[in-house]
Structure formats: structure tokens, C-alpha cells
């Protein structure tokens, strides 16, 4: 990632490095539960659910109905899926094949 485009703080880099050193889902759950509020975790999970449904090709209206996400959220997530840094696509592509279409 281009440091000039993303002048993230050293603290954020340290956090990302710490996340990369976690070995299990349980370890990640423990860190994220300490790090985030329940509302923040719910918002992250909600966005991920929208990403998964967009990747399956569902229309925005159906995603809104299934998730309760606002049209703005669905549109924003779709924009970042198509025109963002590629993080959503990278994560989606690394999912095991048996979990791609749930």
C-alpha cells in the first residue's frame, strides 16, 4: 500500500502487525472484543454480510431486505468492493471454496 496515499499512524501499523500475528479465530475474537465496542463489531460484521451478498450478485434491494442495511450502506460497500483498495476482493478470494456461497 502506498504510504503517501495512506499516511496511517505508526499505531495503526502496529495494530495491523499485531492482528497478523494472531493464530486462531478465538485469539482474533478476544482481541476484537477488547478493541471494539459491540456496536462497532456488529457494524463490521454487517458490512461483511453485505459484501458477501454483493459478491453473490444479489440486487441491492434484496440485500437491503435480507440484511436491514440502508441503501446508503449497500451502495457504499458496493463502491468500495469495485473501486476500493482491493481488500474486500482479496478477503473474498481467500475464503475456502465451501464457504463462498452461504
> Is this model's pTM higher than 0.85 or not?
no
Same-domain check for residues 31 and 41: no
Same-domain check for residues 48 and 98: yes
Residues 6+ apart with CB under 8 A from 88: 51, 77, 80, 81
Same-domain check for residues 79 and 55: yes
| pLDDT digits 0-9 by tens, 70-101 | 999 999 999 999 999 999 999 999 999 877 65
Domain residue limits at 49? 37-102
Same-domain check for residues 63 and 92: yes
Same-domain check for residues 25 and 47: no
| pLDDT digits 0-9 by tens, 30-70 | 999 999 999 999 999 999 999 999 999 999 999 999 999 99
Amino acid at each position: 500500500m502506498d504510504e503517501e496515499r495512506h499516511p496511517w499512524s505508526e499505531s495503526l501499523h502496529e495494530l495491523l502487525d499485531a492482528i497478523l500475528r494472531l493464530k486462531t479465530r478465538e485469539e482474533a475474537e478476544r482481541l476484537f472484543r477488547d478493541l471494539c465496542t459491540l456496536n462497532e463489531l456488529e457494524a463490521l460484521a454487517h458490512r461483511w454480510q453485505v459484501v458477501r451478498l454483493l459478491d453473490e450478485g444479489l440486487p441491492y434491494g434484496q440485500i437491503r431486505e435480507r440484511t436491514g442495511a440502508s441503501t446508503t450502506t449497500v451502495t457504499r460497500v458496493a463502491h468500495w468492493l469495485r473501486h476500493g483498495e482491493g481488500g474486500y476482493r482479496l478477503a473474498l478470494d481467500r475464503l475456502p471454496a465451501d464457504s463462498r456461497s452461504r
